[in-house]
Amino acid sequence: MADVVNQFTITIDQVRDYEFRVQFDKGHPPVLLDEPPPLGRDAGPSASRMLAAAIGNCLSASLLFCARKAHVNPGPIHTDVKVTITRGENKRLRVGAIEVTIDPHLAEADVERARRCRDLFEDFCTVTESVRHGIDVRVSVAGLDSVLSEAAPAQ
């Protein structure tokens, strides 16, 4: 197992129907998430949109960090993230693909110095590399897990 460098906890509470309020640590303001119709009311971004934002932001920040290390000062970075939702084998919706296009608005004089960043920056993006290689996600459901484990036949 990898060495733990940091841990944090966020909380998520249902507001109504498919609307959930996400409370971040460090005093950051809460964010309202919601599913689009027919489930929700689209009162906030969906979880898939938050995933897209996390990937796009992490990649943009990683590119900026690398550029600055290379003594390149990009212009205002603009990133587009295109998410394709597909249906899997069992007809469940899944994030099928994510395409990220980053425009660092480089000056012509900086292009050569920034070229090395193209080969490096993705590897430093915590979110993207974690998603690409899979994340160990463990889920427990209060009040149900003990019932399920007690009801499971012994092997």
User: What are the extents of the domains in the chain?
Assistant: 7-45, 46-134
Please say if the pLDDT value at position 20 is more than 90. yes
- Band of residue 146 on the pLDDT scale cut at 50, 70, 90: confident
- Band of residue 2 on the pLDDT scale cut at 50, 70, 90: confident
CB 19 within 8 A of CB 46: no
Report pLDDT for 145.
Answer: 87
Tell which residue, 102, 115, 103, 101, has the closest CA to residue 72: 115
- Band of residue 53 on the pLDDT scale cut at 50, 70, 90: very high
Report pLDDT for 97.
Answer: 96
CATH architecture for residues 46-134: 2-Layer Sandwich (3.30)
Please say if the pLDDT value at position 154 is more than 70. no
Report pLDDT for 10.
Answer: 96
Report pLDDT for 143.
Answer: 85
Distance (Å, whole) CA 55 – CA 70: 23
- 27 — alpha (psi -120 to 50), left (phi > 0) or beta? left
pLDDT in tens, 68-127: 999 999 999 999 999 999 999 999 999 999 999 999 999 999 999 999 999 999 999 999
Q: Map residue 109 onto helix, strand or coil.
A: helix
Please say if the pLDDT value at position 151 is more than 80. no
